[in-house]
């Protein structure tokens, strides 16, 4: 991720330097003809267009939000809805495979394997047997949505909705609400927030510990938000940067540009395969950390 950010900063500084036009005397400006003014306007427009297609602009256009197909105002919103619909369809198809008492196969078996893994290895181990089952559906929703959204973003002409800070903020907010619900539902509002401060603490430490505990309550979902956003964004920036090496080398020499094609494509393909693995890892990490945080409030250590 750090390498991707370094390359992005390097590309951001790559701009074609255009000499600033010298200010002409007012007398010469007054005597300028219309064709000369038109030519100057076209030259300025060409310079602006050239600067708009520099590598930094291409890179940012690929990873930031924008219009989709000239119809929808936000491509991230479009693929957010597509990912949600795909998760619902996948769940419905998996449920249908159980009809008639049949043993699920194919998609149903794959979904069942992941659900059982989330229930047994994530929810119950970090939250507890009884409480873990109560939050399994939420954890499964996190896992499958993040996984499908990340895999969908690897398709051509698509976008990764979890690479949008607003989406990861919404997911982290839901995780935060689940964490607070886990403590409040078991201990009540007063005991839940009173339990944040260890018992037997000296009174003079309370003005220090209470703000620290309140801040730590919000740093957990903040870490979830930034971690998912940064990892989804970094992968696409690396792939785009590797592909941009071809026109960058071609600007130096046609031979270098042609020689860079197989190297750039192979490296991009390798990173693309890693992104498939990263999609599973990030879905697992977000789900795992959420279960750990819920377990901390459901079963406080002090």
Confidence at residue 121, expressed as pLDDT on a 0 to 100 scale:
92
Long-range CB pairs of 23-28 (<8 Å, 24+ gap) are: none
**Confidence tier at 148 by pLDDT (50, 70, 90):** very high
Tokens of 10: 């390097």
Reference 248, options 1, 6, 7; nearest CA is 7
Tens-digit pLDDT profile for residues 93-121: 988 888 777 777 788 889 999 999 999 99
Reference 225, options 142, 141, 114; nearest CA is 142
Half-sphere exposure of 97 (CA within 13 A, CB side): 16
DSSP state letter for 73:
S
What residues contact residue 79 under an 8 Å CB cut-off, 6+ apart?
A: 149, 152, 153, 158, 159, 160, 161
Task: DSSP for 225-269, please give it.
Answer: HHHHHHHHHHHHHHHHHHHHHHHHHHHH-HHHHHHHHHHHHHHHH
**Apex CA 231: angle with CA 226 and CA 233, to 5°?**
95
- Boundaries of every domain in the chain: 62-298
- Rounded to an integer, the average pLDDT of 213-233 is 90
Decide if pLDDT at 50 tops 80.
no
Tokens of 39: 């030519």
* Residue owning tokens 């010298």: 22
Cα 215 to Cα 222: distance, rounded to the nearest angstrom: 10
**Is 75 within 8 Å of 66 (Cβ atoms)?**
yes
| Helices (H), ranges, the chain | 2-12, 26-30, 34-52, 55-63, 75-96, 107-117, 124-127, 129-134, 136-152, 165-194, 206-252, 254-298
pTM: 0.76
Tens-digit pLDDT profile for residues 241-250: 888 888 888 8
What residues contact residue 5 under an 8 Å CB cut-off, 6+ apart?
A: 234, 237
Confidence at residue 58, expressed as pLDDT on a 0 to 100 scale:
60
Neighbours of 250 (CB within 10 A): 16
What residues contact residue 123 under an 8 Å CB cut-off, 6+ apart?
A: 132, 133, 135, 136, 139, 291
- Rounded to an integer, the average pLDDT of 126-144 is 90
Decide if pLDDT at 159 tops 60.
yes
DSSP state letter for 99:
G
Confidence at residue 59, expressed as pLDDT on a 0 to 100 scale:
62
């Amino acid at each position: 991720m750090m390498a991707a950010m370094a390359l992005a900063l390097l590309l951001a500084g790559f701009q074609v330097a255009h000499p600033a036009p010298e200010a002409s005397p007012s007398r010469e400006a007054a005597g300028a003809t219309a064709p000369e003014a038109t030519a100057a306007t076209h030259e300025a427009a060409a310079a602006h267009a050239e600067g708009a297609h520099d590598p930094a602009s291409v890179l940012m256009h690929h990873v930031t939000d924008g219009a989709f197909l000239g119809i929808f105002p936000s491509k991230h919103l479009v693929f957010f809805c597509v990912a949600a619909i795909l998760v619902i369809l996948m769940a419905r198809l998996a449920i249908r495979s159980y009809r008639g008492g049949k043993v699920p196969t194919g998609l149903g078996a794959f979904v069942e394997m992941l659900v059982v893994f989330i229930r047994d290895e994530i929810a119950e181990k970090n939250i507890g047997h009884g409480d873990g089952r109560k939050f399994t559906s939420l954890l499964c929703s996190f896992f499958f949505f993040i996984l499908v959204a990340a895999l969908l973003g690897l398709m051509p002409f698509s976008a990764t909705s979890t690479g949008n800070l607003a989406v990861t903020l919404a997911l982290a907010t839901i995780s935060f609400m689940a964490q607070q619900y886990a403590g409040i539902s078991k201990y009540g509002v007063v005991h839940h927030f009173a339990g944040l401060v260890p018992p037997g603490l000296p009174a003079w430490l309370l003005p220090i510990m209470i703000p620290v505990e309140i801040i730590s309550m919000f740093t957990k979902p903040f870490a979830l938000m930034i971690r998912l956003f940064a990892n989804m964004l970094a992968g696409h920036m690396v792939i785009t940067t590797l592909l941009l090496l071809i026109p960058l080398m071609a600007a130096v020499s046609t031979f270098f540009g042609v020689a860079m094609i197989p190297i750039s494509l192979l490296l991009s393909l390798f990173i693309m395969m890693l992104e498939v693995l990263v999609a599973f890892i990030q879905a697992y990490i977000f789900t795992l950390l959420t279960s750990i945080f819920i377990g901390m409030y459901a079963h406080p250590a002090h």
